Amino acid sequence: MRVLLLTNGQANQKALASRIQKVATLSGIIVSNNIPKRRPAFWKTLRLRANALASRSVGRPLLNAWLGMLDYYQSAYPDFPIGPIQVSNVNDDATMNAIDCEKPDLVVVSGTNLVGKRVIEASMRSGRIINLHTGISPYVRGGPNCTNWCLSKGWFDLIGNTIMWLDLGIDTGNIIATEQTPLDGSETLELLHTKVMDHAHSLYVRVIERIGEGSPVRSVRQSNIGVGTHFNSVDWSLPDIRRAVNNFQSDYSKFFNDQTNKLNHEIRYTLVPLEHA
């Protein structure tokens, strides 16, 4: 099976590309700088700058955890397994040209800006297109980082990953599989983010491998599962950042030491298992 990867240039994406190459023919990699086509509204720019300042100050433990995770991957995967094509935005003409040229069986998306209609339609002409969301849909969608949103809300049992068929929404496509990230409460913030990313890669590769084998995979409408929360980067503000840091320090380990929490999760939330497709 020929796979085209649409991604960004961070080290965790280099790791994902290397893992995909072990189970499929990686015919191309498009690395997007995720520069928006349109300049954000002035008010949005101000809020994003304020949020970035809060992330570098009060949210420094979260930022350091993310950077530490990237360092971990950079040391193990310093380069992409094949030379990527660089684009400013994933919807640029170079992406369209690569899809038309390579005619991949599967387009795999991870870490890009919102993929537009023409890229989706081009991908569907030769194959299919899927997306990784590092959160459990439909309960936790959006960004900038759903693991941190779960920490802020105290939703420790909703830390996990989703693989979905890509549509025009933000993390709204029909679900192929969802899984909680295996955690035990002993994690540091850096290890937590690393475990979530390792698990995301593992689930993605298992889905890709299953599609390549021709095995059945699900396509479950998110509205058939439940209603969740969509988070926006512009809303990741000082109070949310402070709660995420404080909740991790005060409640995270306690949650996993309470054995009833696993049962409560099974009662409250529906997951889509890959193995039962």
**What pLDDT digit, counting tens, does each position of 10-45 carry?**
999 999 999 999 999 999 999 999 998 888 888 889
Write out pLDDT tens, residues 36-86. 888 888 888 999 999 999 999 999 999 999 999 999 999 999 999 999 999
Give me the mean pLDDT over the 187-214 stretch. 98
Q: Is the pLDDT of residue 264 over 90?
A: no
Q: What would the pLDDT profile of 141-153 be if each residue is shown by its tens digit?
A: 999 999 999 999 9
**Segment 119-163, tens digit of pLDDT:** 999 999 989 999 999 999 999 999 999 999 999 999 999 999 999
Is position 273 within any domain? no
CA 20 to each of CA 15, 146, 212, 257: distance values in angstroms, whole numbers, following the listed order: 9, 23, 11, 35
**110 in any annotated domain:** yes
- Per cent of the chain over pLDDT 70 is 97
pLDDT in tens, 106-120: 999 999 999 999 999
Could you give the 3-state DSSP secondary structure of residue 219? coil
CB 4 within 8 A of CB 20: no
Using the predicted structure, report yes or no on whether residue 276 has a pLDDT greater than 90: no
Could you give the CA distance from residue 234 to residue 81 in angstroms, rounded to a whole number? Answer: 34
Beta bridge partner(s), residue 160? 180
Residue 201 belongs to some domain of the structure: yes
Whole-number pLDDT of residue 265: 67
Write out the residue range of the structural domain in which residue 172 sits: 2-34+52-268
Question: How many domains does the chain divide into?
Answer: 1
Q: What are the structure tokens assigned to 125, written together?
A: 């002409």
Tokens 């299953």 belong to residue: 210
Q: How many residues does the chain have?
A: 277
Cα-based distances in Å from 253 to 62, 105, 186, 189, 258? 16, 43, 6, 11, 9
Q: What is the mean pLDDT of the chain?
A: 95
- Give residue 39's pLDDT: 82
Within a domain: residue 42? no
Question: Which band of pLDDT confidence, cut at 50, 70 and 90, is reported for residue 263?
Answer: low
Distance, CA of 20 to CA of 27 (rounded, Å)? 11
Q: Phi and psi (nearest 5°) for 44? A: -70, -40
Structure token digits, residue 195: 């475990």
pTM strictly above 0.75: yes
The span from the CA of 72 to the CA of 190, in Å, is 10
pLDDT at 114: 93
Q: Is the pLDDT of residue 204 over 80?
A: yes
Tell me if 277 is assigned to some domain: no
pLDDT at 168 over 70: yes
The type of residue at 74 is Q
114: domain CATH number?
3.40.50.170
Give the pLDDT confidence score for residue 261 in this predicted structure.
72
Cα separation, 7 vs 30, in Å, equals: 6
30, 87 Cβ separation under 8 angstroms: yes
Residue 46 resides in a domain: no
Task: State the Cα–Cα distance between residues 84 and 87, nearest whole angstrom.
Answer: 10
171: left (phi over 0), alpha (psi -120 to 50) or beta: left
Structural domain includes residue 76? yes
Answer yes or no: is 41 within a domain.
no
Residue type, 233: S
